Amino acid sequence: MSSVPEAFAFTSDHEWVESKGEIYRIGITDFAQAALGDIVYVQLPQVGDALEAGKVCGEIESTKSVSDLFSPVTGVVSAVNELLSNSPESLNSDPYGSGWIFEVSGGVVGTTLTATEYRAAIGE
């Protein structure tokens, strides 16, 4: 069983959103990292990129496959997790902590699920 933090919002594409005031921190869920297997590369969006909720903004490559990363927030990228450039496996070991992917400031969150709704969607 994967962990699903109650305070986060989730997408049907298995991203999470943590609201920190005017900043939204985004990553992939524990369920997603487990399905991907060993993550070997993350293509991050760039600081200053304008993103649209539901649109592709990066890529995650694992030993099994390559998956698109979708932005759950419309807004401008204000930070990226540089740790992932050298340690993409952080997505596997700590997807809700040190494995965060990027932040958007002053954005608008698109369609999301609560933790309970997300658990139901992944069959937990």
Q: How many CB atoms lie within 10 A of CB 55?
A: 11
Indicate the CATH number of 9-121 among 3.40.50.150, 3.50.50.60, 2.40.50.100, 3.30.450.20.
2.40.50.100
Q: How far is CA 19 from the centre of its chain?
A: 13
Question: What sign does the CA torsion over 78, 81, 86, 91 have?
Answer: negative
Predicted local distance difference test score (pLDDT) of residue 106:
86
Structure tokens given for 64: 């099994």
Predicted local distance difference test score (pLDDT) of residue 104:
97
Total number of residues shown for the chain: 124
Give the pLDDT confidence of 86-105 residue by residue, as tens digits: 999 999 999 999 999 999 99
Predicted local distance difference test score (pLDDT) of residue 2:
60
Predicted local distance difference test score (pLDDT) of residue 13:
94
Average pLDDT of the chain to the nearest whole number: 95
Q: How far is CA 18 from the centre of its chain?
A: 10
Q: Domain locations in the chain?
A: 9-121
CA distance 107 to 93: 28
Query: Do residues 75 and 106 lie in contact, with contact meaning Cβ atoms separated by under 8 Å?
Result: yes
The band of 4, judged by pLDDT with boundaries at 50, 70 and 90, is very high
